[in-house]
Structure 1
Amino acid sequence: MSSEGFIFPSPQWAEAFCKALNENPEYREAAKDWVWDVVFVATNVPSTVVNAVAQLMGLSGVTSNAGAMKFKLRNGTCQGSEFYIDASKADADYILETDYSLWKDLIQGKVDPVGAILSRKIRVKKGSFLTLVQFSSAAIKMTNTAMKVPTKFLA
């Protein structure tokens, strides 16, 4: 982590978020019945971010502008995270997708996650929309947790 935080999105940010979820008793309670893996896909990721993350990962020639973070969520805990610099390689029970700029706004507390899902600004690419709505409290707690992760936005 740099002195300013973890680059979003990156493997390091995903690990820090997973750890922060496990340290949040409010999330644990709200998500105690959630038993599905979730992938968050960021589309239209600026090239400055892609290049920085590729460099962190020791990769070159990355042409994707969509990254993904997979979280293994079980009964209010995060049992691990995975990062994909090419979002097309990520799969899970639930896949939620939106632009990098909206993820940034969510993490900065400028956007309500439930409203973003209901208005389809966050697209449910895979999984039950109804189940997501039933777990809206957990979504809010997740967003509150993300806001506490030291985050560095490069764009």
Structure 2
Amino acid sequence: MGNVEFPSKEWAEIFCKKINENNNYRNVAKGWKWPLMFKVTGLSDELLKKFPSGNIGIKLDLFEGQCKGAEFYEDSTKGNADFILTASFDSWMKILTGELNPVTAILQGKLKLEKGSMATVMRFPSAAVELVKSAQEASK
């Protein structure tokens, strides 16, 4: 696969594909029916040159354990989803390298649920972990 840069449209598409290859996710995410957007803020100077909005969005159409599609927004305000999770580029990188657990990140306020019900998110902790595993696969 080679190094596909996070965040990018290519990365988002590979992430979606990896989710669909993840049988554990399929099993633990039954009941999840909402699109989810990952928002990336706190971009490096290098990334800001590419994405001047400073707010990138990766939206996944997640439904019953599958990813039906991914959209990439150079400006996350151009997209919307029932659930929006926001973190700085550094925090996302720590999550992608496995240095930071997503549930811990939420508890520490490094990963914020900007939109959607926290009670619903907390019903799917295993799904969150499996999504991260798929994201790590996409980043390899």
Are the aligned partners of 1:41 and 1:68 in contact in 2 as well (CA < 8 Å)?
Answer: yes
In 2: Cα distance, 1:93 partner to 1:75 partner? 15
Q: In structure 2, what is the equivalent of residue 75 of structure 1?
A: 64
Q: Residue type of the partner of 2:135?
A: A
Q: Give the TM-score taking structure 2 as reference length.
A: 0.94
One of 111, 116, 123 as aligned partner of 1:127: 116
- Greater gyration radius: 1
Q: How far off is 1:50 after superposition?
A: 4.0
Are the aligned partners of 1:68 and 1:84 in contact in 2 as well (CA < 8 Å)?
Answer: yes
Q: Residue type of the partner of 1:19?
A: K
Gaps of 5+ in 2: none
Cα deviation digits, residues 87-106 of structure 1 (max 9, x gap): 11121000000100000000
Give the secondary-structure state (helix, strand or coil) at the position aligned to 2:43.
coil
Are the aligned partners of 1:113 and 1:139 in contact in 2 as well (CA < 8 Å)?
Answer: yes
Give the secondary-structure state (helix, strand or coil) at the position aligned to 2:37.
strand
* 1:24-63 → structure 2 map (5 Å cutoff): 24-51=22-49, 54=50, 62-63=51-52
Cα deviation digits, residues 42-63 of structure 1 (max 9, x gap): 0011131244xx4xxxxxxx52
Aligned residues: 140
In 1: Cα distance, 2:20 partner to 2:48 partner? 28
Q: In structure 2, what is the equivalent of residue 57 of structure 1?
A: none
CA RMSD of aligned residues (A): 1.3
Q: Residue type of the partner of 2:35?
A: D
Cα deviation digits, residues 91-140 of structure 1 (max 9, x gap): 10000001000000000000011111123211111000011111111000
The question of 1:117 aligning with 2:115 is answered no
Gaps of 5+ in 1: 55-61
Q: Residue type of the partner of 2:25?
A: Y
Are the aligned partners of 1:30 and 1:76 in contact in 2 as well (CA < 8 Å)?
Answer: yes
